[in-house]
Every structure is written in structure tokens, then in C-alpha cells.
């Protein structure tokens, strides 16, 4: 009795389509529905000309671009969006670069304090930057007095701050990837007379493009999503990031502004979704080797 059951489970023709595949599609469709319905809801809310939360449904009764024109006409969204792109791109690229440089040193050089350096990075990583938000705020209040250009309410201050967290987050991940590149490569280059900077920029960096893409993209998404520090640091309407600005839109007038908010949400999602599709191949590999999205 059990023997025949086993044969069926191993995939002979006797099982029938539903028992083999049908139920899997059912589970897959349920998962899809769960994943997609909030996204569908935002998109239809953004197209709903009434623009209120109470009138928003999964399928909009009527469609129009009123919310989008209102978003750009009456709020500073275009400014917020540019701020987000500026802060996101610059801090992602710069932090990618400085942590790649650090990972190169840890992976390719042996020096005094290397082990201690690696272990302390692991420890620092456990104390996320935003836990020190009180101290950061007080420090930047001081910096604002001295250098208003990089103080509170500026994109530059926030970028500098995010760079402070770069080493702790990415170095380990990158070092692991650097270690998988055979050392013979750089050793033979060294014999041929290449300097350390030629090895780093000319040999190693081109080989680690996938991991750079992953850390860069996750860094970008994390910055777009960073709310705690940004909401404390950016209070001027013109300096806000999209996340902080959109939050302000519906923190007071929750029902009436929902359509405009949704329009902003849809636009904000475009860069990350596009980048994600573009780099998906790399990301799946990077995630399984230990990257965590915030």
C-alpha cells in the first residue's frame, strides 16, 4: 500500500495535474494576491479623482491624473523627490566606495590590528546609528552653529551622517566576496609591476561589480526608506526627503490628502522598482550571502 503511494509522489503520470501542480499554482496565486493588493490599492488611490481615503477602492470607479497635478502644484514634492535622489545616490555611491576600499584592505593585506578591526566592525554594526539619535542631534546642533552648510536641514549633513554608518554595514559582506577572488590574480599583477592602486581599481573592482551593485542598490533603498534620522534632521519644507514630506502630508489631514499621498508614493516607488528589476539577477545572489535590507 505504502509502496504505491510512494510511486505516485515521486512524480509518475498517475497523480493528476491538480495533485502535482494545480495546488501549487493555487498557493502561488494566493501569495501573489497578498503581495499585490496593497500595491494595487495605492495605484488606484493615486488615480482616483476624488482623492480621499474613504472613496479609494482596489479598482478605482473613475480614473484621472488630478492627484498628480495637485501633488506637483500644491506641495513641494518635486523638491522632496530631488532631495531623496540626491541623498540616496550620493550616499549609496560614496559609501559603496569607502566600504569597498576598506574591504580591499581587510581582504588583501595583513597588518597589525586587522583582526581587532574586523571584530570591532562587527560590534559597531550591532549599535545601529539611529540608536545614538539623541547624541547625533546634539552634535549636529553644534555643527550647525559652526558650519550651517553641513548642519541640520541640509542634505549634506545627512549624507555625511549616513557615510558614518557605511563601514559597519557593508565591509563584512564585501570582504567575504573579495575573499572569493583568487589571490593569484593580484599577485601576478604585482609581479608585472602593478601598484596597489592599479590592482584595486583595475583588477579587483571590475570583478566585484555584482556585490557593488547589491550594496549600492540596498544602500539607495535604505536611504529612501530612512525615516527616523531624516525626520529629526530635516524640518524645513524645502530640505525634506520624500519619505518625511509625504508623512507630513497625511499626518494631519488623513482622509482628504490620501490621493495626493498615493500619487507621491507611486512616483517614489518608480526608481527603486526599476533599479530592482534591472539588478534582480545580482540581488538574489547578494541576499543569500547576507545582505539585509532595512
Partner 1 sequence: MSDTTEISEERASHEPGHRRPRFGLSGGDGTVTTGRLVIRITVLGVAAALALWAAFPLVDQGNWIGLGILVAVTALLFYIYLSPRAIPAKYLIPGTLFLIAFQVVPVIYTVTTAFTNFGDGHRGTKQEAITAIQDASVRQVPGSTVYVLSIATTGDPASGDLVFLLTDPGTDAFFAGTAGGLRELPAGAVQADPAGKIQQAQGYTILTIGQAAARSPEIAAFKVPTQAGALYSQGLSRAFEGAPQQTYEAGCDCIRDAVSGRTWTADESDGSFVDQQGQRLAQGWKVNVGLRNFTDVVTDQEIRSSFLKMLLWNFVFAGGTVLITFALGLVVAITLNRPGMRGQRVYRSLIILPYAMPAVVMLLVWRDMFNTEFGLINRMTGLEVNWFGTPPTAQIAVLLVQLWLGYNYMFLVCTGALQSIPADLTEAASIDGARPLYAFRTVTFPLLLIALAPLLISSFAFNFNNFAGIYLVSGGGPFPPDNPNAGATDILITYTYRLAFGGAGAQYGFAAAVSVFIFVIVATVSIIGFRRTRSLEEIN
Chain residues 9-28 in contact with partner 1, contact rule CB under 8 A: 9-10, 21, 23-25, 27-28
Burial of 36 (0-12, 13-18, 19+ CB in 10 A): exposed
Instruction: Single out the residue of 155, 164, 78 nearest to residue 129, CA to CA.
Output: 164
**130 sits near partner 1 (criterion: CB under 8 A):** yes
**Binding residue for partner 1, selected from 38, 61, 182, 202, defined by CB under 8 A:** 38
Site string for partner 1, 52-91 (x = CB under 8 A): xxx-xxx---------------------------------
Helix boundaries (H) for the chain: 2-9, 17, 23-47, 66-74, 77-108, 114-126, 133-146, 155-164, 166-179, 183-191, 196-198, 205-207, 209-225, 228-233, 242-252, 258-288
Name which of residues 188 to 207 contact partner 1 (CB under 8 A): 195-197, 200
**136 sits near partner 1 (criterion: CB under 8 A):** yes
- If the CB atoms of residues 66 and 220 are measured against partner 1, the closer one turns out to be 220
Distance in angstroms (rounded) separating the CA atoms of residues 66 and 259: 9
Q: Which stretch binds partner 1 (CB under 8 A): 46-54, 67-75, 181-189, 208-216?
A: 46-54
**126 sits near partner 1 (criterion: CB under 8 A):** yes
Cβ neighbours around 114 below 10 Å, total: 12
Site string for partner 1, 94-113 (x = CB under 8 A): ----xx-xx-xx---x-x--
Q: Which stretch binds partner 1 (CB under 8 A): 32-40, 60-68, 73-81, 205-213?
A: 32-40
Burial of 265 (0-12, 13-18, 19+ CB in 10 A): middle
**138 sits near partner 1 (criterion: CB under 8 A):** yes
Amino acid at each position: 500500500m505504502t509502496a504505491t503511494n510512494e510511486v505516485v509522489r515521486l512524480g509518475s503520470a498517475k497523480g493528476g495535474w491538480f495533485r502535482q501542480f494545480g495546488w501549487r499554482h493555487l498557493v502561488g496565486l494566493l501569495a501573489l494576491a497578498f503581495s499585490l493588493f496593497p500595491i494595487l490599492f495605492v495605484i488606484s488611490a493615486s488615480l482616483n479623482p476624488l482623492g480621499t481615503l474613504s472613496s479609494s477602492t482596489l479598482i478605482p470607479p473613475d480614473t484621472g491624473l488630478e492627484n498628480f497635478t495637485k501633488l506637483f502644484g500644491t506641495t513641494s514634492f518635486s523638491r522632496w523627490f530631488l532631495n531623496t535622489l540626491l541623498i540616496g545616490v550620493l550616499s549609496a555611491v560614496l559609501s559603496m566606495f569607502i566600504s569597498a576600499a576598506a574591504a580591499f584592505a581587510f581582504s588583501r593585506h595583513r597588518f597589525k590590528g586587522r583582526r581587532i578591526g574586523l571584530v570591532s566592525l562587527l560590534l559597531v554594526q550591532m549599535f545601529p546609528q539611529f540608536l545614538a539619535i539623541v547624541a547625533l542631534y546634539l552634535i549636529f546642533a553644534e555643527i550647525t552653529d559652526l558650519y550651517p552648510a553641513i548642519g541640520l536641514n541640509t542634505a549634506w549633513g545627512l549624507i555625511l551622517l549616513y557615510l558614518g554608518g557605511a563601514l559597519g554595514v557593508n565591509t563584512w559582506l564585501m570582504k567575504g566576496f573579495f575573499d572569493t577572488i583568487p589571490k593569484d590574480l593580484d599577485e601576478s599583477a604585482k609581479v608585472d609591476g602593478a601598484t596597489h592602486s592599479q590592482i584595486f581599481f583595475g583588477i579587483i573592482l571590475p570583478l566585484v561589480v555584482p556585490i557593488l551593485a547589491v550594496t549600492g542598490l540596498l544602500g539607495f533603498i535604505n536611504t529612501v526608506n530612512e525615516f527616523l534620522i531624516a525626520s529629526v534632521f530635516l524640518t524645513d519644507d524645502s530640505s525634506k526627503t520624500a519619505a518625511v514630506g509625504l508623512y507630513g502630508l497625511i499626518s494631519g489631514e488623513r482622509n482628504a490628502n490620501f490621493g495626493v499621498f498615493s500619487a507621491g508614493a507611486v512616483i517614489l516607488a518608480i526608481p527603486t522598482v526599476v533599479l530592482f528589476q534591472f539588478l534582480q539577477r545580482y540581488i538574489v545572489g547578494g541576499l543569500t550571502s547576507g545582505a539585509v535590507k532595512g
